[in-house]
Chains A and B, each alone.
Chain A
Amino acid sequence: MMTTTSRPAGTPDADAQTARRRRGVPWLLLATLGVVGLLVASLFTGQYDVVGADDGAWMFAVTRVPRTVALVLAGAAMAVSGLVMQMLTQNRFVEPTTTGTTEWAGLGLLAVTVLAPTASIMARMGVAIGASFIGTMLFFLVLRRITLTSSLVVPVVGIMLGAVVGAVSSYLALATNSLQYVSVWFAGSFTSVFRGQYEPLWVVLLVLVAIVVAADRFTVAGLGRDVATNVGLNHDRVVMLGAGLVAVATGVVAVVVGNLPFVGLVVPNVVALRRGDDLRSNLPWVVVLGVGLVAACDLVGRVVIAPFEVPVSLVLGVVGSVVFITMLVRGRRRG
């Protein structure tokens, strides 16, 4: 990781900042190499012998490549979503799983499964995206309506909101006998990713591009509503844009993969600890580490009880909660 002392972003000393950024580049390349190594390992991990068997190349193209691509896209999407939400709410503990956004996506998915069982994957995705957008906006609305005494209350509110939506989901699921479907969905996993099924995930790439284009706006919005308005930014519009992008990313990942807890929380926080809050220069780091975390957890899940698989969400849930709690406990020392 970086050895330079981290300074707050946005210091007027632009030269020093550029220099710092340049010094960061070799480290970023190194991290990228490491993650590429993980992805190659992911391509060649599994029960089927893709090198020796006759139809190995075909299996490789149909299952291994899509799975690895899905890992990259989903990991990047969740990590960047977390980063954008943390900017917009000015709160370090916010990400799609601590705001109820994932629960909303699940509710939308369940509703469409119950009401229109024959709906195409695009229709499902549309509903899930719409539901996550409603959920994200509702959370932002709540945050705007209340004055907070502590930033630590925000995720508690979000998780309670998620619990409310979860209660609605389980009512619906129990009434229609699809409870096990819901619980299987909640355990996100890349097991069922293969050619012909994962392609909608490419939408995430568009979201990433949009976030890179709008990165500086999000950084300014992260300075607060008043500052942002003062420097000529339409704060409401940027918040809407951010919520929309996060909803698209969460909705797509929810439909194709399922729930990936803590990625959006752990990765941006680790990056921000080292590098401060400049969204544009942090983005490559967040993408690389997000992909790395999801790829590593998926590999662990595939190896520990081979030939069976532990879903990646379980590994992420355990690893993520340990890292998060460590961060919280160490963070309270600084107050």
Chain B
Amino acid sequence: MANVNAGHHDHHPDQEELRTFAFWIYLMTDVILFATLFATYIVLQGSTDGGPGPKELFQMNGIYASTFILLTSSFTSGLAILAMNKGNRLALMNWLGVTIFLGASFLFLEINEFIHMVSEGATIGTSAFLTAFYTLVGTHGLHVTLGIGWMIIVIMQIAKHGITPVTKRKVNIISLFWHFLDVVWIFVFTIVYVMGVN
């Protein structure tokens, strides 16, 4: 059997690199998931079945605000990475904290929007358009919620272990996820809201 040369110690591959790669593949599956939801939304957009449509329902000021907040949070998650690369643990945790705060504000606005719409009688069961709307936007919101919970866990681990290859990878991955949510939101913003009211 051919020998493995000694310099090439222990042949198990670098787990952190593997996980990051796997996460990219996972993100691709998420892209497909959202693409499918967008497709259903586009098909059902006009099927308001006599109920309210985008023009009556969407209040663009709130949407601009939440869009701005989410974009900012993407930026702060980038600042967290910068702090991490400089080895500044406290700044890293703080920037992640700010990101969480912004993400939570975004969610707060979104939930308010939903409550408002429901109070006007536009529920998920009103029409196919609204079913598709709540499902698409809600799935994005669910992802944001997940991201927030996950970020809290990562912060706790940084507090416990400091900046190690493992926590570093975790921060990189969550920030990748967060940027991804931002990109998805830009599509939601354009296709659902801007194109809806125009």
Instruction: Tell me if chain B binds chain A.
Output: no
Which residues on A are within 8 Å of B, measured CB to CB?
A: none
Interface residues of B (CB under 8 A from A): none
